[in-house]
Structure 1
Amino acid sequence: MHNDELPHEVILAIQRVLELHDGDVERDPFDDLTLSTAFSPISVLNDLFPDETSLVYLDAVSTRLAETQRELQTEINVLQGELRRSQDPERMQLIQEMISDLLGQMSRIREKATESEAVVRNITKDIQVLDTAKKNLILSMTTLKRLQMLVNALTQLEELVREKKYSEVAQTLAAVKQIAVTFKSYTAVQRVAQVWKRIQEIQGELRNQIDADFDAFILQDTSKAIKAPQITDACLVVDVLGTDFRTHLIDRYVALELKEYRRIFRATDEAGQLDNLSRRFAWFRRMLQTHEIEQGRVFPAEWKVGWCLLAKFVDITRYVMGDEDGYRVEADVCAHSDDLTMLLAKAGASLTVKTLLDNLQITTEFEGSLSKKWATNFQVILDTVAGTHAVPSKPISAAFEHHMSIFVDAQDKVLADMLAPHRKSKRKVPPPRPSLDASSSNAGSAEEEPPMLVLPSSTDLFYFYAQSLEQCAKLSRGQALFDLCTLHKKWLRIYAGELSSFELTT
């Protein structure tokens, strides 16, 4: 039979007996009771008998409740029995004994493990000692082999130095220095200290020998036949000896090459005067050409000896001892320097604008030609050489910078003379001319517009401005150019102010 064919009361009774809902287990009112929940008999009875008609099932409910009571009592009895057994003193003692036995077994296992570790350590102790001895033996053999190689190379190096076979000396010395680095921490050992000291002595002997050979080659000493290929090979040794020695040789060579320059262009001689500045540059060009054809070919390109010659020539020509920026050069250079700064200062008030600009133009052309020759900015050349000598430098043209006020003052006088006719009286100025741009733009327009008027004096003024700015920018882009712009601004303000008070003739 289907559920919908039975009376509602019968379905409800069956659900209560079988503890079923429509597809779910019926909730027992006693299931919600806990120790923290107050028992309410009225609520339970309301759940069991929701209405009066349900009282007909009183017997069934009573039977079910009695059965539930028996089941609960049985469960309580079982739990009480288990509780009594678990709280039995003998059982608790047994558990404690089992725990003690377990802890004892763990302790014995730990002791056995420690004993096993000690046994293994004793077994491998000899192996570890042998392994350490093997490593030390290998290291000692390697060190002794390197020491033997170093001693042999040192002996070979001494022989090569005596024979002046610089090409082979460079290779052998590089190998000796590379091997010697590994013995730096063993210098406390007497034998190693002796070898280390001998290496330093050989390098010192090499420096003295190469220094003498360079002097003989540069000075063309006939008593010592030093050929160019030998000096070329010696340069390889110099690179191995270090940058300090290379710098020393370059400075020595540069000083010898420029010694004649200091002698010729003395401040007391005619050649050293300011009007012979071009002769200085011509002399340096000839010297540089001779250097590149003859002695300069023995130097490696990366030494940039030509740049060093130029930098020293610049320092001698442009006196920097006591310069405003605090730069300094070597004392031997300053003692013989017939410098441009001193010549300009000596000229004083007699220095004319023409002399100043002519010499400055000659100087900038000289600097530009060398910059073009090496395809490198002139200041970059000086900075590169200064980086190796730790002496900052400036171009020769910088010596003129402090005297460019003469040029600016001359421009001030020219502008004053140019505008003087327009400032003498309040007379009428000449009639303005129509602007060419305005005439061409108005030619095609339908409606006539007033033409733009340009004063002849303004044309002359701005043309002069353009010329003077262009001339100054070619010679100096420092304070002089700024002062000239300030001067132009001053006169432009004066010109505009006075024009505003003039009457234009019609």
Structure 2
Amino acid sequence: MLSNKDNDDLPQEDFNSDIIKFPPELENSISEILQTNDLIDNNDFIPIEYINQMLPNEYALASIDETTKRLQYKMRQLEGEIQEHTRLQTNGGQQGYEEVAEAKKAIEELFKRIRQIKEKATQSEIMVQEITQDIKSLDFAKRHLTTSITALKRLQMLVTAVDQLKVMAKMKQYKETSQLLQAVLQLASYFKSYKSIKQIAELSISIATFQNELKKQIFEDFESSFALEGSLSNQSALLGDACLVIDIMGQDVKNNLINWYCEKQLGEYKRIFRGSEEIASLDNTSRRYAWIKRVLKTYDEVHADIFPLHWNVSEVLCIRFCELTGEDLVKSLSRAKNELDVKNLLKNLQLTLEFENQLVKRFAYMEKPLHTENTSLKYNFNKSISIAFEPYLGLYIDAEDKNMAEIISTYRMEAVPDDDNSTSVLQSSIDLFLYYKETLVNCSKLSTRKPFYDLCIVFSKWLRTYANEVLIGKLPKEERRAMTRDELKLICLILNTADYCYNTIPQLEDKLKEKVHEEYKDKINLDFERDCFLKGIETCYEPALTTMTKISWNNLESVGDQSEYVTLFHNNLTRCVVSVHKDITNNRYFRSFCDKFVESFVSKIINNLSKCKPISEVGAEQARK
């Protein structure tokens, strides 16, 4: 057996010179292909290990010759296999080259056929395009031919309709005329893009000229049907059909006819109420509204059948009347401003407000907006005429101011109620706020702008007067004496009344802001007037303070019993506080009274002590008792 040492002694080139080394990947692939169990074919074949395996010990050396013969046989067998594989590989290579050449030839043939197919497809596409081009041309020609035929048919219809329209218009068959006119205008709109053609342009001009003539003819029919004063002859059916034609002519033509009608109806109004200053005076305001009511009655009974409902002719008529009347009243009021009587002013203003309300109710059913030459929104009849009176409502505010002055004067003389537990506030305060409520409601109907704001200022003025002159004026005069039970009861009644006014004023302020115009809302504030009702009283302990200053505090020799002024303090304060607590209805006021009383009492005691100087040590001890 060969050892590693023996292996080292042998020339390595003898074992390795004939061994061919392949990469590991190739060796593994070869092993998988051969699939042999022979150790010689193993990738990890080691000659020395193989020899040791065959000759494991010294006893095996005896058969070395036999082993050698077996190895030689194996070598010859391997050489034969190598030669056979080499021969087969050589013959197989030549055959492979021939197969590759045949494959290349087949591929070339295939490419040649593909080119031929592509050329034929191109030719087919060109042929199809030529065929479809002819079809497209035919289809285009067909479509234009259809359009041309349609245009010719419509042109023929338009010419025929225009001829019939002229005949119907000449015969004043306005219902048929309206239908034909609508058809003509629709057909004419189709030829707007053909106006470059001379015949079409001439036909369009002819239609426009005819419309003007037809409009003139219808207006002449209206002129001849209405008398100078606006009364109607017996042609309402004809004029009603004519309005159908006007409706088709467009909004401008319709507005012209409506305005003509309104001017016709209001012509007499202008002649009557603008012809004389006496008739146009404020005293004849009621006659104005009576006149337009007669006109509206005539419209409802006779003229309403002429005009379509959606024209809103009666509403436009009333708008024009309100505009004229407002202008007239502004002039009348300006001429009579130095002679205006508040009673007459309010009377005519009330008549105007009632008339405006009637108009609002009359046209409340109309939901569609107006479309006139001056407005595109629904007209607001509220304040449409009465606004002319607003600059002169200062007379009304002045009258209310004088009236309140008289009322406050009576409140100053108001008798204090007897000892009645059911009465906690002065009746005048309740009456005052009821009067305010009624007055502001009445004023808001007349105006919510500056006159109403001026009324708010008047309210503020008399609230302050009521607080300072009525309530405080009823308080007992400040005298250095103890208050009687009746005086304390009166004071508590005044406090309760002030509390009622203080709590009611915010409600009044909210009501005023609710009614007043947005322009003046932020200017209304009654906080100062509320504060006027927060006055206090502190006279019940004045006699005790006077007694305190009369004592000679520096000459006292000994400390005695409770001082006389302390007894006075105790008796008066007990009586006053108990009485106040009994008669003041609002506990918040009683707590406030106690807080303010203690604050005032401490301050006056300190001031009073400074008047008693000098004070001896004995006097200081006595002052504490």
TM-score range, shorter chain: 0.5 to 0.7
Q: State the distance in 2 between where 1:98 and 1:496 align.
A: 126
Q: CA deviation at 1:115?
A: 2.9
Q: Distance in 1 between matches of 2:121 and 2:44?
A: 55
Letter in 2 for 1:371: V
Using the TM superposition, name which of 267-276 and 124-133 deviates more: 267-276
| 1-structure distance, mates of 2:112, 2:389 | 101
1:368 maps to 357
Q: Which of 434, 450, 472 is residue 443 of structure 2 equivalent to?
A: 472
Partner residue of 1:288? Answer: 296
Deviation, structure 1 residue 283: 1.0
Q: Does 1:455 align with 2:426?
A: yes
Give me the whole-angstrom Cα distance separating, in 2, the residues matched to 1:421 and 1:480. Answer: 26
Distance 1:89 1:213, change over 3 A: farther
Q: Distance in 2 between matches of 1:93 and 1:415?
A: 132
1:367, CA displacement in angstroms?
A: 1.8
Q: Deviations over 1:290-325 (max 9, x none)?
A: 233333432222222211211111010012xxxxxx
Secondary structure in 1 matching 2:415? coil
Is residue 239 of structure 2 the alignment partner of residue 231 of structure 1? yes
Tell me if 1:298 matches 2:270: no
Return the match for 1:431 from 393, 416, 419: 416
Matches within 5 A, 1:93-104: none
Are the counterparts in 1 of residues 175 and 242 from structure 2 also a CA contact under 8 Å? yes
Gap change, CA 1:247 and 1:389, over 3 Å in 2: farther
Partner residue of 1:180? Answer: 188
Give the aligned residue type for 1:137: L
Residue equivalent to 2:148: 140
User: Corresponding residue for 1:18?
Assistant: none
2:178–2:244 Cα contact (<8 Å) kept: yes
In 1, distance between residues paired with 2:358 and 2:160?
A: 53
The answer for the alignment partner of 2:224 in structure 1 is 216
* Mapping of residues 237-252 of structure 1, within 5 Å: 237-252=245-260
Tell me if structure 1 keeps the 8 A contact 2:282–2:329: yes
Q: Distance in 2 between matches of 1:342 and 1:225?
A: 36
- The alpha carbon displacement at 1:495 in A equals 2.3
- Deviation, structure 1 residue 415: 2.0
Asked whether the equivalents of residues 218 and 253 of structure 1 are also in contact (C-alpha less than 8 Å), the reply is no
Instruction: Determine the C-alpha separation between the residues in 2 that align with 1:64 and 1:487.
Output: 131
Q: Which amino acid aligns with 1:369?
A: Q
CA gap 1:107/1:491 in 2 versus in 1, 3 angstroms: farther
In the alignment, which of 443, 448, 455 is matched to residue 484 of structure 1? 455
After TM superposition, the structure 1 stretch with the greater mean CA deviation from structure 2, 462-471 or 118-127, is: 462-471
Which amino acid counterpart does residue 302 of structure 1 have in structure 2? H
Counterpart-to-counterpart distance in 2, 1:493 and 1:194: 84
- Partner residue of 1:416? 405
Correspondent of 1:122 among 104, 108, 130: 130
The two structures have a TM-score, normalised by structure 2, of 0.55
In structure 2, relative to structure 1, the CA distance for the partners of 1:296 and 1:94 (3 Å cut) is same
CA contact (8 A) 2:444 2:452 kept: yes
Counterpart secondary structure, 1:164: coil
Kindly state the Cα deviation for residue 225 of structure 1 after the two structures are TM-superposed. 8.3
Q: Distance in 1 between matches of 2:200 and 2:424?
A: 95
Q: Separation in 2 of the partners of 1:408 and 1:421?
A: 20
Return the letter of the residue paired with 1:430: A
Which residues of 2 match residues 275-424 of structure 1 at below 5 A? Answer: 275-319=283-327, 339-376=328-365, 384=370, 389=375, 395-420=384-409
Give the partner amino acid of 1:492.
Answer: L
| Residues 204 and 102 of structure 1, relative CA distance in 2, 3 Å threshold | farther
Q: Distance in 1 between matches of 2:142 and 2:256?
A: 49
Q: 1: distance between equivalents of 2:250 and 2:122?
A: 61
CA deviation string 1:116-142 (max 9, x = no partner): 221101012211111111111111111
Larger Rg: 2
Structure 2: how far apart are the matches of 1:354 and 1:340? 17
Worse-matched range after superposition: 155-164 or 474-483: 474-483
| Structure 2: stretches of 5+ with no match in the other structure | 1-23, 26-35, 46-88, 477-486, 491-625
The one-letter code matched in structure 1 to 2:370 is T
> CA-atom RMSD, angstroms?
3.9
C-alpha contact (below 8 Å) 2:228/2:264 kept by paired residues: no
Among all aligned residue pairs of Structure 1 and Structure 2, give the percentage whose two residues are the same amino acid: 38
Summarize the alignment of residues 69-80 of structure 1 with structure 2, pairs less than 5 Å apart.
69-70=42-43
For residues 389-443 of structure 1, give each alpha carbon's deviation from its aligned partner in whole angstroms, at most 9, with x where no partner exists.
45977611122233323222322232233224667xxxx9732579xxxx9xxxx
1:503 pairs with 466, 475, 493, which one? 475
Q: Which runs of 5+ in 1 are unaligned?
A: 1-33, 36-62, 73-80, 320-338, 440-449
CA contact (8 A) 1:415 1:491 kept: yes
1:207-264 deviations in whole A, cap 9, x for unaligned?
010010010011289xx98722111111111111112111111111110111110111
Contact conserved, 1:273 with 1:343, CA < 8 A, in 2? yes
Q: Structure 1-normalised TM-score? A: 0.67
CA positional deviation for 1:454? 1.8
Partner of 2:206: 198
Give the count of matched residue pairs.
Answer: 393
Q: Distance in 1 between matches of 2:452 and 2:40?
A: 119
Question: By how many angstroms is 1:497 displaced?
Answer: 4.3
Q: Within 5 A, what are the aligned runs for 1:140-179?
A: 140-179=148-187
